[in-house]
Each structure stands twice: as structure tokens, then as C-alpha cells.
Structure 1
Amino acid sequence: MTVKCCLDAYIKFDKVKETKQFTIVDGPERLTKTDENDSILLVLDSSFNPPHWGHYTLIKKSYEYYHQLYPDKEINVLLLLSVQNADKAAKPASFDKRVEMMCVMGGILTQNFDKLSCSVGLTIFGKFIDKDKIIRDRFFSDGKIIYLVGFDTITRIFDPKYYTPETPAIALKEFMKQTEFCCLTRHDDESDNDSDNDSEETYNVQLNYSKEISDGKYEPLVPREWGSKVNVLLNDPKYSNVSSSAIRKVMSQLYGELPNNEIMIDDLKEQLPNEIIKYILRESGVKSIFSS
């Protein structure tokens, strides 16, 4: 589907989103399998403001990991955006532009991964439990779903303060029966010390998180059997600290009144695929320095 078609699909969904609740704007509209063991769905749920190398690397590493674990299974990807609380006037990328960039990223993924199907979806739901229910009802009824998230998101999902007066063990009991999470190690942006030793210690803490769950460190709030459902993978150091906020700062200059220069573009090259950069430059009215 072309980027324009993705936009048209988004506009149609926006008019009826409260009743429709979920839609696919690009890629296969529904995945079905007679045998639930035949297929895996990787769901990357993000704000995609904008889609960047961090998103791509998370999908790439997860795809490689699960393909090695289950070489005979078909692996599918769903790029999912929750629209209910989105600020459509947000700069630099308005909401419709995010959807278009998601479709561009979907094209990059299907081009770079053999036999990988990728869909772009929209939903009004913000909670993982609600997203999971509607995905299984409307898109992927059988098979294993793995949510690709940031490490900080993993810890928030299991944080008891979000489930009071219940506990995560009770609130997420049914959800966790057929769901897994996968994330990459993340550089600590708030650290005052960026030494290699501190970075290695941060990564080791993150990589050890699922083992801590399996060892019962967080019981009874988080059951130890959930440890096998949380996979923390070592990130590519080059993309371990890609920052959406830093990217948006550069993008705001391109979309605003400040003059364009090659330093800005060089900053974007380190964090965004060329196809996304071309889209940003085209939409901001800045002439692309990339060859076609």
C-alpha cells in the first residue's frame, strides 16, 4: 500500500475510531492459522514519533532471536499505534504523519527480511490487556504474541502501583498465560557517568532481570513463572541510546523557521533510516541531500 493509501485509511478510522476501536491501515488485515503453533506475532507498540533505528533494531534482534528458537514458525510483525490519547497537533510530526512514517518503516522491514509480513495497525486502547484482547479478536486469534517494548516499559508493566488494590499477579494472570515480552538493553540516559564499566553494569542489571523474576525476587507480586516470558536481549551499542526526544528536537528545526544545514541531517542519519529522513525532508519542504 502506498503512503497516501495509509493516510486515507487512517482518516477513515479517525472518523469511527470510538466504535471500530482497531484497524489495519497497511499490510495483511488478518493473520489466521489452523494450528496455533505455526505462527508468532511480534507487536511493536510505540508512539512512532518518529520511527527510528531503535525501533528497527528491536524488531531485528527479536526476529533473529525467535527465528532461532522456532525455525519452523512463521514470524509476523505488527506496528501498533494507540490513538486515544495522541496529541494530533504535536510537533514535529502530526498524528497523520506518524501513520505515514509507520507505513514507510513497514516497507523497510518487509524489504529487508525474507518472508516477513508486516502490518500497521491503529487502536484506541492504551492498556496492554485491552490491546491484546482486540488483537486476538480482530487480527491474530491463534499463536504466540510477543510485545516488543523498552526495558523501562517492562518494569512499569509489573509495577504494583498501577494495579492497586489488585496485584500484577492477579490483574495480569490471564494476559500472561499466552503472552511474552521482549526488549533490548538500554543505555541509561540519566547517568552522570558514561564510563564503559558503568554501561556494562547497567546492561548486566537489565539482562539479569528475567532471572531475578524466575528466582522469585518479586514474588508474590510478580510470579516466578513469568521470568521465562520476559526476554532481555543485548542491544547493538550503536543504537542503545537512540532518543526520540533528541530526534524530535532536530525535526522541529527542520519543520520550523530555522535554516536547514548538513549538521542536522548528519544527526538524523545516525538515528533514522534514510527512507524516513527523506520523508521528513519532503514533508518539511527541505530539499533532500540524498540521492534517489
Structure 2
Amino acid sequence: MYISPQSIRRLQQVHGVLSRLNPEAEPEARTLPGRMQPQANVIVLTGSFNPPTTAHIALLKEAQLYARAHQPMYLYAAISKKIVNKEHVERPLLIDRIILLEDVLRRRIPHAGLLLFNRGLYVEQAQALRRSFPHVQKIYFLMGFDKILQILDPRYYEDRNEALQALFQQAELLVAPRGSASHNDLTALLQQTENQPYARYIHALPFGPQYREVSSTHVRKDEYLYGDNTLQEVRAFMRHTRAYKPPLLLPDGTELNEYENRVKYLTQLFAPKNEMSET
């Protein structure tokens, strides 16, 4: 397996940042070397980006338009070392997803930054931003309609009002339509009696209907079948690493797991302190 010296240096830089993020410590946020530090007002799209899709890029570009109309405001994509409800995700390695996302952002939204969190809850990430970057003022989390349904769902809380008050003391939300949901559905949701106290913190964001069904799950299953919704950078990563493919069956009946070989190589590269895997 060949990894260029330049790629190894970048992997080492990202690994260095990840190794200093402890999911059991106080909420913390870090930027990658060379990336802009959060300040003033920020919009943050947190996700697993497994892998990044055209929908992620379209959503960030809509947020970029919002940011331009509300300057000074800065845009970030973010990945948490601890991803809520997705702890079962095993491949590709977290470090590979970060490197891939950084490549996509650099090519397609060069003014967007990249953040790494040690915590997965929005309230914890807001706390992390304020603790780690004292010059941050307003925080907006960017998300799809499916996520706001979860945030307002009482089944996720022991004390819903206390949890939501803690969140909205720290941040506001920008919500884009997903699937068949429209802005009318968001309006109806916020008009429900139990949600009205929080409606002023939740804002609708336009989003093209062509992106509302795009998902990372579809791309993982078959990047070619999913066609134009798979980013060129993602296709190259998938071809190079075979991170989402089953092992190759060789003529002699043995299996060749190329991504497993990559994992072993990177583990050896960063031994003895390998912090790359999902928490």
C-alpha cells in the first residue's frame, strides 16, 4: 500500500489534533492546522459525513448565502469524535473521513472552515465553541428537518424544557427541508403549543428539492448507481481505499480486504497511541 509523504504528513497533523480530543473531558472544539479560528457569528453543520454528498455541499452553500446577508458570520463543517446515535459506524476511519471532508471543502467551499468536537450533543458543541474560542458570539447549527424533529421530540429527554432551554441559551438553529417535508411543515411544528416557546430560535433555510432525498447511506451502497449525487472527490476516495466495499475474492479462493490493510498500515504508522478509530 502506497501513501504519499504529503498525505502522511497531513494524516499526522490530523491525528495530532484527534489525539488531544478526549470525549470524557469538558466540551472542547479544535480546528485543523491552517484553518481559520471561529470568531464573531458562526454557522456549523455537524455530521458524520460518511461520506460527504452533494446535499451537504448544497446545504453549506445555502448557509453561505445566509452568512453573507448577516455579516460578520463564518461557516464551518464539523465532525465529532463521539457521534450520537452513530457509534456503530466502523469504517472508514474517523481520520479518513476528516481528510476527505477537508479535501471536499477546500475544492468546493474554500471559505468554509472545519471543526472537530469531542462531544456529540448540540448543547455540548455550543459549550465547546464558547470555551475554546472566546471571541465567538452567536452560534447557529445547520440541520435538516429530520434533525429538528429529534431535537423537539420529548422521548429523547428526561426533562425536555430544561434541556431545550440550555440549548437555546447557547445557540439557534437553521433548518432546511428534507424528503417530502416543506417549510410549511416546520411552521406547523413550531406552532404546536409545546414548541412555541422555542420558535424564535429556529429559522427556516431554503433548500433545493433535488437534494432532499440525497443521503450518505445511498452513496455508501453504490457510488456509481447514485450517479451525480456522488462527489468526484468521494468517488476517488472510494476507488482508492475500497472503504465501503467487501473483500476482493482472488483466483485462489482467498480474500483481499484492501481497507483492512490500510487500517493496519495507519495503526502501525501512529503506534503506540492510535486514536483514529470511532469512539
> TM-score of the superposition, structure 2-length normalised?
0.73
Change (3 A) 1:87 1:130: closer
Partner of 2:229: 271
Match runs of 1:181-192 below 5 Å: 181-187=173-179
Distance in 2 of aligned mates of 1:218 and 1:181: 19
Partner of 2:43: 42
AA aligned to 1:229 is Y
Change (3 A) 1:60 1:27: farther
Change (3 A) 1:212 1:178: same
The question of 1:131 aligning with 2:138 is answered no
| More contact order relative to length (CA 8 Å, sep ≥ 6) | 2
Q: CA deviation at 1:140?
A: 5.6
Change (3 A) 1:249 1:238: same
Partner of 2:90: 90
Q: CA deviation at 1:16?
A: 3.4
Distance in 1 of aligned mates of 2:33 and 2:55: 21
Partner of 1:218: 193
Q: CA deviation at 1:9?
A: 2.6
Distance in 2 of aligned mates of 1:250 and 1:163: 36
Question: Which aligned runs of 4 or more in structure 1 are off by greater than 4 angstroms?
Answer: 2-6, 85-89
Distance in 2 of aligned mates of 1:6 and 1:227: 42
Partner of 1:23: 30
Distance in 2 of aligned mates of 1:139 and 1:282: 36
Preserved contact between residue 42 and residue 136 of structure 2 (Cα < 8 Å): no
Q: CA deviation at 1:231?
A: 2.0
Partner of 1:240: 212
AA aligned to 2:237 is Y
The question of 1:156 aligning with 2:128 is answered no
Q: CA RMSD in A?
A: 2.8
Change (3 A) 1:17 1:66: closer
Percent identity, aligned pairs only, is 20
Unaligned runs of 5+ in 1: 33-38, 188-198, 252-263, 287-292
Change (3 A) 1:212 1:239: closer
Change (3 A) 1:64 1:94: same
Q: CA deviation at 1:28?
A: 3.1
> TM-score of the superposition, structure 1-length normalised?
0.70
